[in-house]
Amino acid sequence: MPDTPETQEKDRGKEQPRRRQARGERRIAQLLEAAASVFCSSGYAAASTNAIAREAGVSPGTLYQFFPNKEAIAIELGDRLMHEMRETYGAALAPVDPATPLADAVGAVVDRFIAFTTEHPVFFALMKGPDTPGRMAEEHDALHSTLVTRIEELLGSLLPDASAADLTRMAHVCLGIHKAGLELVLTHEGAEREAYVREVKDVLIRYLEPLAGARPGTPDERSAPEA
Amino acid sequence: MPDTPETQEKDRGKEQPRRRQARGERRIAQLLEAAASVFCSSGYAAASTNAIAREAGVSPGTLYQFFPNKEAIAIELGDRLMHEMRETYGAALAPVDPATPLADAVGAVVDRFIAFTTEHPVFFALMKGPDTPGRMAEEHDALHSTLVTRIEELLGSLLPDASAADLTRMAHVCLGIHKAGLELVLTHEGAEREAYVREVKDVLIRYLEPLAGARPGTPDERSAPEA
DNA sequence: CCAGAATGCGAGCGACTACTCGCGTTTGTC
DNA sequence: GACAAACGCGAGTAGTCGCTCGCATTCTGG
């Protein structure tokens, strides 16, 4: 009889999450926190599961009680980060109000993403490295595509005559600038970090402003260089 | 008697390059080429010495006849790349003629670096990864510092009133933009690649142009967007 | 209170790594 | 042609990695 409840359970839910006690949930959170720390300082590939377990103060066997393999740790971490990002900054991904001045729109988006990344440095660490595993890269690509599409929409409202290829290219350039800026911002602290944030915004605004032409807004309000 | 010629040889020249036959030099070039290919597709850390030897069509033992360890392969590769870059594009690092229009100066430098990187993709691969070994990172930092200094000099001639901190920050931003642009350029081919090159130049020119103020040159000659 | 599940441990397994060693082959030199 | 040095090989070494397994402990539903 192949239809015993056990068999059905194993066949139906591909990876039915076994019943967890409160203790287990705490361990999972603890392990993910440790993994974030280790990933952040070593990158994904160089991070060893034994090191993660040690950082969390548990044995390797305990780690594998809650995660089937190393990749699953990164995936779960990525899922939680994505979820929190969508929950906290979902508005930053929404189509922008065409009445908003360009400088304000760019500034707001950059501020939000920089705030999220400085609070969760592991997010950048996992996205940067070329050593991220299969499903992780997929998630990254998905986020990347989402952002490119949003930027394309914004640019399309500014440049109705531009071709789709041009819009896509410009969107990729904007994302590239933002990513390079993130790296610079994260390597500085305090006032210097603030200065870099302003600089990144200026780069984006000056790149996009000539394209906007005669638009409503206050183009002179952009932050001026100290010189 | 510790002063036998053999002892002196071992003590004096730290790693006296043993006498090579023409065959050996060929093998070294062959191994470096194979290493470049493997580093390029896997990054430094993920590249295995056995894979490099296999790619070169030799045994692991042969590889270690010419290189003391894995790091030495990357270092020798880096040294040869640096040497070739300085030899070929040394002029691009020299102080710019203040009479050159900004757009031309930026365009020339970007063109040269992009040409070098597309011809030697392993250069970018080794510089990008966070997994590069000790001396490799030092070389990268040295090149980075050199470039920052050159850009600071250029910016200083444009903005005599700016503070040193501001100049350094702007130089880092310029380098970051260039690096991000390189990544975009390398992931495209043909006409699309050309379009990205133009875009990167525009980003830099529009970032720097407002700072130059009323300068001689032909500011309207910069490439216009297709829109 | 007690059976069974969830949790926890850490020695250990197989696979992979950078790297070595002993021995045979090729090459330059006198 | 002989001798030494350079070249070439590939099985083998020690170490690390992700991951497993058997067994002890703690929790929880009935």
Instruction: Report the pLDDT value the prediction gives residue B92, as an integer from 0 to 100.
Output: 62
Tens-digit pLDDT profile for residues A179-226: 999 999 999 999 999 999 999 999 999 999 887 654 444 444 444 444
Measured in whole angstroms, how far is the alpha carbon of residue A226 from the centre of its chain?
Answer: 31
CA atoms of B86 and B106, how far apart (whole Å):
18
Domain boundaries, chain A: 21-67, 74-216
Tens-digit pLDDT profile for residues A75-119: 999 999 989 988 887 766 666 666 778 888 889 889 999 999 999
Scanning A90-149 for CB atoms below 8 A from B yields 128-131
Cα angle A101, A102, A104; round to 5: 70
Q: Which residues, 6+ apart, have CB-to-CB distance to A168 below 8 Å?
A: A148, A152
What tokens appear for B199 in the block?
């875009």
Largest distance between two CA atoms of chain A? 82
CATH code given to domain A21-67: 1.10.10.60
A18 touches strand C (CB under 7 A): yes
Instruction: Report the pLDDT value the prediction gives residue B14, as an integer from 0 to 100.
Output: 47
What architecture does CATH give domain A74-216?
Orthogonal Bundle (1.10)
- Asked, colleague to colleague, whether B21-67 and B76-217 share their fold, the answer is no
Which of A9-13, A67-71, A176-180 shows the lowest per-residue confidence on average (mean pLDDT)?
A9-13
B24 touches strand C (CB under 7 A): no
Residue with tokens 């900004």: B102
A155 at B interface, C-beta within 8 A: no
Instruction: Report the pLDDT value the prediction gives residue B218, as an integer from 0 to 100.
Output: 44
pLDDT category at A17 given cuts 50, 70, 90 is low
What tokens appear for B129 in the block?
């990864």
Mean pLDDT of chain A: 84
Q: Do A73 and A67 contact (CB within 8 A), yes or no?
A: yes
User: Measured between CB atoms, which of A131, A203, A227 is closest to B203?
Assistant: A203
A48 at B interface, C-beta within 8 A: no
The sign one gets for the Cα dihedral B103, B110, A141, A204 is negative
Q: Examine the pLDDT at A4 and tell me if it is beyond 70.
A: no
Instruction: Report the pLDDT value the prediction gives residue A94, as an integer from 0 to 100.
Output: 67
B163 at A interface, C-beta within 8 A: yes
Q: What is the pLDDT along chain B (227 residues), one digit of tens a residue?
A: 334 343 334 344 445 567 899 999 999 999 999 999 999 999 999 999 999 999 999 999 999 999 999 999 999 999 999 899 888 877 666 666 667 788 888 898 899 999 999 999 999 988 887 777 777 888 888 889 988 998 898 888 888 888 999 999 999 999 999 999 999 999 999 999 999 999 999 999 999 988 765 444 444 444 444 43
Q: Which residues, 6+ apart, have CB-to-CB distance to B200 below 8 Å?
A: A173, B110, B177, B178, B181, B184, B185
What architecture does CATH give domain B76-217?
Orthogonal Bundle (1.10)
B60 touches strand C (CB under 7 A): yes
Question: First and final CA of chain A: distance in angstroms?
Answer: 82
Instruction: Bin B57: left if φ > 0, else alpha if -120 < ψ < 50, else beta.
Output: left
Alpha-carbon gap: A11 to the closest alpha carbon of chain B (Å): 36
pLDDT category at A131 given cuts 50, 70, 90 is confident
